[in-house]
Amino acid sequence: MTATSTDRIPGIVAGLRHGYTAGVTRPEAWRRAQLERLRALLLDRGADFEAALRTDLGKSGTESQLTEIGFLVAEIDHALARLRSWMRPRRAPLPLALQPASARIVPEPLGVVLVIAPWNYPLMLALSPLVGAIAAGNAAVVKPSELAPATSALLALLLPDALDRRAVAVVTGGVPETSALLAEPFDHIFYTGNGRVGRIVARAAAEHLTPVTLELGGKSPVYVDATTPLAETARRIAWGKFMNAGQTCVAPDYVLGEPEVLERLAPRLADAIHELYGSAIARNPDYGRIVNDAHFARLTGYLADGEILAGGAHDAASRFLEPTVLGGVDPGAPVMQEEIFGPILPLVPIAGLDAALAFVAGRDRPLAAYVFSEDAAVRRRWERETSSGALNFGVPSLHLAAPELPFGGVGPSGTGAYHGERSFARFSHEKPVLAKPLAPDTLAATIMPPFTPAKDALARRVLRRLL
């Protein structure tokens, strides 16, 4: 993959600014046409995108369709069906004291925005924010991840021909190119990735007072108690955890439970892994690979942090790491210090519900939390006593696929939310527009108190003359 020259980046941004200022992106017809072209690109070149994702992450065609291509097509369809209503100004009520008058809230685009995508879902997380940016009428630069070079190169090749070059551009490369982009005065920056780089993005954006959306991550906990059916619970945890070889921002990161519950859960997790991927997982085309050697070395280093109850096999040459369950993991172990972002699931024994709540509340607020309990009181306490980007009962990760639900973190796990109408809102400014008839007496009556004493007659006359 050839990186975009850093010398070209100011000109690329200036060209998009010119297109935006000329009004290219504002008409509904333009927005609708761009979304339809993007949809057609995903469908027409779906096999090419599948091949790129297989090269970068070992993803199967089925997984690529479900979690990336199909996800985007559904998101575009949702936006196309609702675009007109999202764009429509909304009437706003005014207090009686301001009457006669009328007010509206008019959504308008922010301008030229930057989307910086990660490597784990390199297609979906590059284009999903772009759907919102286009729907809201913005020009946009898409910066795909250099750690997914095949997908990045394909986006750079196909997107400029599919979409309006006056308003959409792709910049490829690594740190130098990203740094050059961050030096430009964008109207919004949308970053998905880790917290360390998120801080760099936020600092760079502050130089231009540019608002940011930071979709980060964190250690998303799972709590399991004795009231939940453990076999089905294990199947759902395994599905959410080991999809994309565990390289999912909302994947369950670790499981909390009383020792006897975890002891019963562990063999069921092993059964669920076998049910999902079979007995020869290294040869299963539906199971992916770790993105690069550095991440592979980091992950295999965690295998000594607990007792391997399932999995553990790995091969450095192919970056294969079997779905792994670690038992008896100490909360202070290295595997519990940062987001795992791989196919390793620690089981952390705790004394009970109070201990689990304290454990989660005492750490950075995660991107998601997952509770498996049939006890309504337990669910209420998780909802009331913990904070997370999302809270799911009985299933992990599924909230990501609901366009009417906001997706985003809180605190260290992110700032701002998107998907569905919230993507449109994320890339829009809600401009209040108020109109009042040019009638001096009505304005005076609006802002003046009812003068009754004769001594205030002079003040009334002066105010009327001024207004």
- Cα separation of 223 and 347, whole Å? 10
- Cα separation of 250 and 217, whole Å? 7
- Cα separation of 230 and 228, whole Å? 6
Catalytic residue among 63, 249, 322, 339: 249
- Cα separation of 386 and 388, whole Å? 7
User: 49 near 69, Cβ under 8 Å?
Assistant: yes
Catalytic residue among 50, 75, 215, 421: 215
- Cα separation of 223 and 45, whole Å? 41
Amino acid in position 413: S
The angle at the Cα of 100, spanning 98 to 106, to the nearest 5 degrees, equals 75
The tokens for 387 are 């904070």
Tokens 């909802």, located at residue: 383
Strand order through the sheet with 369-372: 307-310, 324-327, 344-349, 254-257, 221-224, 369-372, 391-393
The angle at the Cα of 213, spanning 39 to 244, to the nearest 5 degrees, equals 55
Nearest to 21 by CA among 183, 209, 167, 170: 167
Which one-letter DSSP state was computed for residue 99? Answer: -
- Cα separation of 448 and 410, whole Å? 44
Buried-exposed string 96-122: b where 16+ CB fall within 10 A, e elsewhere:
eebeeeebeeebebbbbbbbbbbbbbb
User: 421 near 86, Cβ under 8 Å?
Assistant: yes
Is 385 one of the catalytic residues?
Answer: no
- Cα separation of 218 and 237, whole Å? 17
- Cα separation of 32 and 48, whole Å? 24
Q: 358 CB contacts (<8 Å, ≥6 apart)? A: none
- Cα separation of 2 and 5, whole Å? 9
User: 427 near 79, Cβ under 8 Å?
Assistant: no
The greatest distance separating any two alpha carbons of the chain, rounded to the nearest whole angstrom, comes to 96
Is 249 one of the catalytic residues?
Answer: yes
Q: Roughly what angle, to the nearest 10 degrees, separates helices 28-44 and 46-57?
A: 70
Give the residue numbers annotated as catalytic, written as ranges.
Answer: 215, 249
